[in-house]
Amino acid sequence: MLDNIRIVLVQTFHPGNIGQAARAMKTMGLTQLTLVSPRCFPDDEATRLAAGADDVVASARVVDGLAEAVSDCVQVVGASARLRSLPLPHYDEPDLMADEVVDNADQGPVALVFGRERFGLTNDEIRHCTHQVSIPANPDYGVLNLSQAVQVLAYEVHRTWRQRQRLTGASPGRGPLPTQQQLTHFHAHLQRVMEDAGFLNQPHARTSDHLHALFARAQPSRKELSLLRGLLSALERHIDAPLDGE
C-alpha cells in the first residue's frame, strides 16, 4: 500500500532539498518520488544529501507538469501554509489527512504535493489537487523547510499505516475512486453542458470552482462518476434536440 503513496515536489530549486526529502521519505517507508520541472536534476548534491536514500533519488520520475504527475491518482493532497482562493476540502491536522490517504491508497495511487521552497504551490497547481493540508506550527514562526514538511506528512502516513496493520475485519469501501484524468474529463463534460444550457451566465461567479470543490468533498466512486457522466450525456441530447415543428 505504501507503494501507492507518491511524493511530488514541484520545481524544487535546490537539488540538496531533493536528497533530503528522499531521506525523509525512506525513513517512513515511502519510495515513490516524482519531480516536476526541477531546476537542477540529476545532481551530485541531491545524491549526497540523500544519505543512504540515493536509491529513491535515482528512481525518481521527472515530468514537465503537475497534471502529468498526478493524472493517474485517486487523491491529490497539496501541502499549503494557507488556504488559496479555490475552496477545496482542507485538512487542518495532518493525522486527519493520513487517515483518508491510507484508505484511498488501497484503491490506487495517492499524491502528496509540495511546492517551491519560497512560495509553495500556485493557484493553478492547487486546481490539480483534490484536497489541501496544513501543518500546525508556531504562529509567530511557522516556517518549515521542504524536507521537514515531507517528513511530517510522511510520518503521519506511516503511523496511520502501522495502526491499520494491527486492525482486522475492516469494512469494505464503496468502490474504486476515479483517477484525476477521469475527474478532469468529467469536469470538462460538466463545463460544456453548463455552457450549452446557459447556466454559466455570470463569468465572475466562480461557479465552476465551487462545483469542483463540491465534487472533491463528495469523492464520488468510479461508478458514481459514470452515472453522472450518463446524466450529462442525456442532458446534452435534450439540449441538442430540435423543438417540435422545427
pLDDT lower than 50: segments of the chain: 168-171
Per-residue model confidence (pLDDT) at position 27: 97
Claim to verify: residue 10 and residue 74 sit in the same structural domain: yes
Instruction: Give yes or no: residues 65 and 148 share one domain.
Output: yes
Q: Give the H or E element holding residue 156.
A: helix 146-165
Same domain for 218 and 151? no
Query: CATH number for the domain including 46?
Result: 3.40.1280.10
36 lies in the same domain as 154? yes
The per-residue pLDDT for 82 is: 58
The pLDDT value given to residue 81: 64
245 belongs to a structural domain = no
d(CA 23, CA 31): 10
Q: Is residue 173 part of a domain?
A: no
Q: What is the pLDDT of residue 171?
A: 46
- Identify the domain boundary among 165, 198, 227: 165
Instruction: Specify whether 95 is located in the same domain as 189.
Output: no
- Taking the mean position of all CA atoms in its chain, how far away is CA 102? 13
Same domain, 125 and 152: yes
Q: What does the pLDDT read at residue 111? A: 98
Of residues 161, 11, 183, 189, the one with CA closest to residue 101: 161
For 95-104, the pLDDT digits (tens) are 999 999 999 9
Residues 51 and 133 placed together within one structural domain of the fold: yes
pLDDT at 217: 85
Residue 119 resides in a domain: yes
Residue at which a domain ends, from 165, 189, 223: 165
pLDDT in tens, 38-83: 999 999 999 999 999 999 999 999 999 999 999 999 999 999 865 5
Write down the pLDDT at residue 59. Answer: 96
Same domain for 73 and 123?
A: yes
Instruction: Tell me the pTM.
Output: 0.75
Residue 144 lies in a domain: yes
The pLDDT, as a whole number, for residue 143 is 81
Amino acid making up residue 72? D
Instruction: Answer yes or no: are the C-beta atoms of 18 and 46 closer than 8 Å.
Output: yes
- Give the type of residue at 65: G
